Structure 1
Amino acid sequence: MTTRRHTTKVEIPIPSSANGSASASNKLDLPPPNNSPFLPTVLESILIAIYPATLLLGSIFSTLHPATRNATYNPTSQAYDPADAPSYFAKKSNLFNVYFVKIGWVWITLAFFLFVFTHSSLGPPLRPVLTKRRLQAVLRYACITAVWIAVTQWFFGPPIIDRGFRWTGGKCQLMYDDSFAARAEKADMSDAEKAFTHAACKTIGGQWKGGHDISGHVFLLILGSATLWLELLPAMLKMEGLREARRIMTTDGLVRSAAIETEDNPDGNMKVPEETSIGVKMALFVAGMSWWMLLMTAAYFHTWFEKFTGLLVAFCAVYTVYFLPRGVPAWRQVVGMPGV
């Protein structure tokens, strides 16, 4: 006679994680990959690499394209003769240059604030409520704008671009040096007009000659579009990706996932919204247009080295505001990080 065995089920209660804190805590306690908080993620690296690749592509195109090689380029005015310009975009008078690039920071500012005040990941849409995320986003914008002003507009006098041009041996020369009127006008120029600003030189009919001119167009287009991309991506990604992949240095000296910062955010855990707001669309449009005009600038204007220095200065500013805070907790407390 066989004996039937009975098995007894033992249920082990599992703590509820309805608020997500337990699962998030376990996830964040896992050892992070051995990547530095000072380095970009794979996705960010691809994004950053687009910029030098664009400059390289445009420069190669201008070297190989027969119409560009045969056109008359004036390195002093940094422009082609309008009569035989190799492309509509090679003319400084093209509408995209006049109404987009020349007032580029207006477009960047409009796109930035439209995104910040319409996307629900930063606060109530279309309501002037300064949440912590919004306030820190505005501080990041202020830092980036301060760099743009210092490099292209004013830096305790002439901007850095003009100072760099003078430091490398450049000077203002009148276009008709042999005429009596020009010599008289030159004699009447003040030292400030003659020595320091590109705008003053242009006003009296002169031209910058002899120095290294950092490409202001390259600087502006990279700085503005990179700012928009780095603000957009963490708020838009719906999968575990950029927000969790970024590493930060915490105050206790440990390297952890940036997602841990979300746990301490007084605005609550970061919920990636489903909507695509008008601010996102505007920012994508401005970033896309910036890339196209960067390609046109690379193809038709400035020397290789002038474009490289414009890229370098823009990257330094972007790194200071968007990457350095990850490894410097005190700086991160001020400007924060997008998406946390």
Structure 2
Amino acid sequence: MSARRQTRSTKVEVPIPADGKGFPSTTSRPTMPDSTPYLDSPFLPTILELCLLAIYPSTLLLGSIFSTLAPSTRAATYNPTYQAYDPSTAPSYFARKGNFFNVYFVKIGWFWITLAFASFVITHSSLGPPLRPVLTKRRTQAALRYATITLTWIFITQWCFGAPIIDRSFRWTGGKCEVLYSDSYAAEQEREDMSGVEKALTHAACKTIGGQWKGGHDISGHVFLLILGSSMLWLEMLPTLLRMEGLREARRVLTSDGLVRSASIETTDREGDKNIAVPRETSIGVKAGLGVAGMSWWMLLMTAAYFHTWFEKFTGLLVAFIAIYAVYFLPRALPVWRKVVGLPGV
């Protein structure tokens, strides 16, 4: 009776040809797909990842062009100080800061991102036994990646040993808190009792005393949050979504021996079929992640169309991309960092 092959997962690392320097001969190494110098760099994303990340600047560009050319937005009154349209003349429901999706999704966006991430980690079999509290290496490294990204979000938008970096950068670029005139004597007296440094320390403190941020550059916190959270979810789920051999990503990593290699997960079942369906219980996390990532993209488009200046949106994008690169791409070129945070799907 013929022996059956059992399901197994092994990591395959194949050296990439590089002018014959230290690599096995052509006859001794497996055949590699056609490659380009770009794809051979561990410092850069794959073409597929690059296309995915390009969605974000394209969305910001599309929304900004719409806000400039659309008759509805050109006719509406936009207040740059409040960074919002007058509610009575807002060109769209999504142009109002009080719209349902802005209040209950974007304002508490990290809650939804965390919920989707946790759902994926505890339900998908590629990270450990589904719905079982088993602390595997992959789950631990996924948690470390999440913790690093979350810490970045906190430092940028919430707290950084005092004021968050967004508020600090606003003040560094000449911004300050200007107190508005009020007919209320008590309110005026309360403002006078507060020191100028305290009033200008954070945007939240400025609003509390009835003031306004004026004069500096305000990095778009909405753009930063939506891009940071959704791209984290995408890059965590991408190896899972690309289970078919023809779509498998070819990431390059620099190993401790100084060679650039290709790391991938090879999965086969007992019949030799490599197109294995995702178990039903593990699809919950993927659906949750796709749902949050999709809603984040829509709200990013709305933010691009109705809020902030071009440069404010660009700096929000830039800061988010720096954080994502440090956690999801830099480890491929730094073996020591990769041992800590790992790589999704490996």
> Scaled by the length of structure 1, what TM-score is found?
0.87
* Pair 271,165 (structure 1): closer, same or farther in 2 beyond 3 Å: farther
Is structure 2 residue 257 aligned with structure 1 residue 252?
A: yes
In 2: Cα distance, 1:23 partner to 1:316 partner: 28
What are the superposed Cα offsets for residues 119-139 of structure 1, whole Å, 9 maximum, x if unpaired?
Answer: 111111111111111100000
2:278 to 274, 278, 285: 274
Identify the residue that residue 290 of structure 1 maps to in structure 2: 296
* TM-aligned CA deviation for residue 194 of structure 1: 1.4
2:227 to 222, 237, 247: 222
Is structure 2 residue 345 aligned with structure 1 residue 339?
A: yes
Higher mean C-alpha displacement, 299-308 vs 242-251: 242-251
* TM-aligned CA deviation for residue 160 of structure 1: 0.2
Identify the residue that residue 306 of structure 1 maps to in structure 2: 312
Equivalent residue runs for 1:103-122 within 5 Å: 103-122=108-127
Q: Relative contact order, CA 8 A, sep 6+: which one is greater?
A: 2
Q: CA RMSD in A?
A: 2.7
What are the superposed Cα offsets for residues 143-166 of structure 1, whole Å, 9 maximum, x if unpaired?
Answer: 000000000000010000000000
Identify the residue that residue 9 of structure 1 maps to in structure 2: none
Q: Secondary structure at the match of 2:56?
A: helix
Size of the aligned set, in residue pairs, is 318
In 2: Cα distance, 1:217 partner to 1:229 partner: 18
Higher mean C-alpha displacement, 293-302 vs 238-247: 238-247
Higher mean C-alpha displacement, 171-180 vs 199-208: 171-180
- Give the unaligned 5+ runs of structure 1: 1-15, 264-269
* Percentage of identical aligned residues: 72
Identify the residue that residue 317 of structure 1 maps to in structure 2: 323
In 1: Cα distance, 2:10 partner to 2:195 partner: 70
Q: Is the 8 A contact 1:62 1:299 kept in 2?
A: yes
In 1: Cα distance, 2:164 partner to 2:65 partner: 30
What are the superposed Cα offsets for residues 301-332 of structure 1, whole Å, 9 maximum, x if unpaired?
Answer: 00000000000000000000000000000000
1:202 to 182, 185, 207: 207
Q: Is the 8 A contact 2:84 2:95 kept in 1?
A: yes
Q: Is the 8 A contact 2:11 2:264 kept in 1?
A: no
Q: Secondary structure at the match of 1:82?
A: coil
Identify the residue that residue 91 of structure 2 maps to in structure 1: 86
In 1: Cα distance, 2:230 partner to 2:13 partner: 35
In 1: Cα distance, 2:276 partner to 2:237 partner: 11
Equivalent residue letter for 2:312: E
> Scaled by the length of structure 2, what TM-score is found?
0.85
Q: Is the 8 A contact 2:63 2:302 kept in 1?
A: yes
In 1: Cα distance, 2:9 partner to 2:78 partner: 63
Q: Is the 8 A contact 1:92 1:98 kept in 2?
A: yes
Rg larger in structure: 1
- Give the unaligned 5+ runs of structure 2: 17-28, 268-273
1:69 to 48, 70, 74: 74
* TM-aligned CA deviation for residue 21 of structure 1: 9.6
* TM-aligned CA deviation for residue 271 of structure 1: 10
* Pair 115,129 (structure 1): closer, same or farther in 2 beyond 3 Å: same
Q: Secondary structure at the match of 1:259?
A: strand
More strand per residue: 1 or 2? 2
